[in-house]
């Protein structure tokens, strides 16, 4: 994956490869698409790093903003206090993929989608099937991201309740556990409908249930569900990474077979200089 993406690729957020191509990208040739990704590589890498940081902040923002509404001081970091007037709009931008980093990643996703179309059209049915599965998985990212956010909020509220022991923190933590359980069950239902050949379980949902064997298909005690689903998010992230790696490997082979230059280019001059060093 790192070779195919020129080390642009990061674990989160997943690229929205399922979205339609942006204007003009459908007219790009195979090589021109990869050249565009190479030319924009520094900007794409920075945007992906910033978007990854935004994902890490989501749970902290929701937790802090929740307490701020009760008039309590909370912090985004050691130096930055959460101010609803500033941080509520920031959270909404992240949630709606409207930050500058997300908008640039949407452009990159469109280029990657075009690259996949060009490469997989020359591949075999196994490669095309893996590509279609990757697009299916990308539709789950909003569910995955929201679930990760709610799990972090629930974790923080449980710690708050253990520290405070009051009725308000007990009610808030319980309500958050219920929200988390509801989101997780809905995600599992979607995953049950996604067939996949790369992992045990037959479907994505089957694999996730194997990784979390104590989970049930209907609501139960929220705190037990929270504990039993500890591996759910990591397992889903692994499934996405595994499928993405399969697709990248297939695309690399197809591109090389057709003489297409990848994102990472090593010129003769730079090779000579490296050897001299």
pLDDT of residue 265: 57
> CA 184 to CA 75: how far, in whole Å?
27
3-state secondary structure of 81: strand
Q: Is the dihedral of CA 123, 15, 141, 159 positive or negative?
A: positive
Percent of the chain with pLDDT over 90: 89
Q: How far is CA 192 from CA 189, 212, 215, 246, 271, in A?
A: 5, 14, 14, 21, 49
pLDDT of residue 273: 37
pLDDT of residue 77: 86
Q: Which of 170, 21, 192, 179 is nearest to 108 (CA)?
A: 21
- Least confident range of 105-114, 167-176, 183-192, 262-271: 262-271
Q: What average pLDDT score do residues 68-95 get?
A: 92
20: confidence class by pLDDT, cuts 50, 70, 90: very high
Question: Does position 267 have pLDDT exceeding 90, yes or no?
Answer: no
For residues 213 and 230, the answer to whether their CB atoms sit within 8 Å is no
Question: Does position 270 have pLDDT exceeding 70, yes or no?
Answer: no
pLDDT of residue 52: 97
pLDDT of residue 10: 96
Each domain of the chain, given as residue ranges in start order, spans 25-256
CA atoms within 13 A on the CB side of 77: 6
- Listing DSSP states for 195-235 in one string gives B-SSSTTSBHHHHHHHHSTT--SS---HHHHHHHTTTHHHH
> CA 155 to CA 152: how far, in whole Å?
5
Percent of the chain with pLDDT over 70: 95
271: confidence class by pLDDT, cuts 50, 70, 90: very low
pTM for this predicted structure: 0.92
268: confidence class by pLDDT, cuts 50, 70, 90: very low
Q: What average pLDDT score do residues 191-201 get?
A: 96
Question: Does position 71 have pLDDT exceeding 70, yes or no?
Answer: yes
pLDDT of residue 58: 96
pLDDT digits (tens, 9 = 90+) for 32-67: 999 999 999 999 999 999 999 999 999 999 999 999
Q: What average pLDDT score do residues 209-223 get?
A: 87
């Amino acid at each position: 994956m790192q070779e195919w993406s020129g080390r642009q690729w990061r674990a989160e957020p997943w690229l929205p490869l399922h979205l339609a191509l942006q204007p003009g990208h459908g007219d790009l040739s195979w090589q021109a698409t990869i050249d565009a990704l190479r030319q924009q590589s520094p900007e794409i890498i920075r945007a992906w790093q910033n978007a990854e940081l935004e994902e890490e902040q989501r749970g902290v923002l929701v937790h802090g903003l929740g307490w701020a509404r009760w008039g309590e001081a909370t912090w985004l970091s050691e130096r930055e206090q959460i101010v609803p007037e500033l941080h509520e709009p920031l959270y909404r931008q992240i949630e709606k993929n409207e930050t500058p980093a997300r908008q640039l990643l949407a452009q990159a996703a469109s280029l990657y989608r075009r690259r996949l179309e060009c490469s997989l059209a020359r591949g075999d049915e196994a490669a095309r099937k893996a590509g279609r599965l990757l697009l299916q998985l990308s539709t789950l990212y909003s569910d995955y991201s929201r679930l990760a956010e709610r799990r972090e909020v629930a974790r923080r509220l449980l710690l708050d309740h253990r520290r405070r022991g009051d009725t308000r923190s007990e009610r808030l933590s319980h309500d958050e556990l219920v929200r988390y359980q509801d989101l997780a069950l809905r995600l599992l239902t979607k995953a049950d409908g996604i067939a996949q050949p790369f992992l045990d379980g037959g479907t994505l949902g089957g694999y996730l249930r194997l990784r979390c064997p104590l989970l049930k298909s209907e609501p139960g005690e929220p705190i037990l569900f929270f504990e039993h689903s500890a591996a759910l998010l990591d397992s889903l992230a692994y499934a996405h990474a595994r499928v993405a790696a399969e697709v990248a490997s297939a695309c690399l082979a197809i591109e090389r077979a057709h003489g297409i230059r990848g994102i990472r280019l090593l010129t003769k001059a730079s090779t000579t200089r490296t050897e001299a060093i």
